[in-house]
Structure 1
């Protein structure tokens, strides 16, 4: 009986080729560990264009729209929304559950670039919602002010921090910190949008400075009041405007329209 012998060197070669093919198959099927989980979000009525790397798509937002996709760490991300009903819209880009850019206007464009993401950079445009000596809140994001923060006018000229107030439209940039706040790198005066006018929401909480038949001043911010202004107690129950007096704490909310800040509601804050 004849016996066929396979040389040992040949067996080793076949085994090596088999292992190489097996590993290559595993690598091909495994997802990239550094891929980015991206969420594009638009609030408002708008025509939407979004881009990841060279892939450009369009959509229509009808109140609220979002899409999710996977992008590479070197991909430029862009989200552009143009209002279709004459009201400001908001665009937001999230990466791995974290907001990296958000803007508001009749045309709102948010971008995220690799160089910014490597530094956890955050960029937000909108009206200042709250302001203190060392913090500014814009679009719900708290920016911490320190000695390194630059304050710029619309033409990038240096200005003082005192120029900014609740309701001022700004572009805020900085680096995300471990506690969720952003260390502000730059605070720049902006228009809400080239075509958006000056309509935006303002909310102020603090001590009542003055009350008149046509206005109320809270923490230095003057709100015009009308017959439509709602006056509420600490439990959100309607009360007389006569209950509001200088020295009490209150929360005032309203809108700037045609340059006038008008209160929609004023609420006593007894905490």
Structure 2
């Protein structure tokens, strides 16, 4: 799973006396890689000071695999994950070859090695990690932060959408769900703070990512209702009803329908909600 330690702690040095670490790539005097960034959302890319590095398919997959694991990973585990159909000797040889090619990249260190362990260099920025950590902060601490944090969370793009390795598919679904929950929570928090434009932005990002997700549509309707934009709320409600009827043959849940209860007298609420759904 994304950013979960697999066998070693997420932070700190590799356990035991593993010998001197070796940075894979261009050596810099202070041991830090500045300006290196791995992009995993929407597409794969490694950039250094705005220049895109050229990596072959094998080194791309190795870099992506380690970028999704914020920890040291055993070489044997990496070889099996990246070359599952190869025999062990072939997998290890392919990994050694990929590491050798990364050492020749003319850029600051991208990876680190310590005997039988490897990891992405700690100073390399990873966009998926940033979204993951921000989403966790929103969900764990009910705090979003500044406008830049919202823009990061709203940025569209699934994790490596054209990659179908098992380790990518699982991480893609995890990050997608986490981001959607965080966007919905952010919309609720921003509405409570009176930041209505940003609340609508967060809710709309969730709707655009998953049009059939009722909790996302419900979050957007709540923003419109909180602003007193009843017409917009009903329009969004109708649009969601149309989508789920066409795609799934379903009606919205009672949770969605009761959002409009305060607009009509109690005796008229069921009929009014039904009319709102089916009008137009």
When you count helix as a share of all residues, which structure comes out higher? Answer: 2
Shared fold, TM over 0.5: no
Please say which structure displays the higher CA radius of gyration.
Answer: 1
TM-score by length of 2: 0.24
When you count strand as a share of all residues, which structure comes out higher? Answer: 1
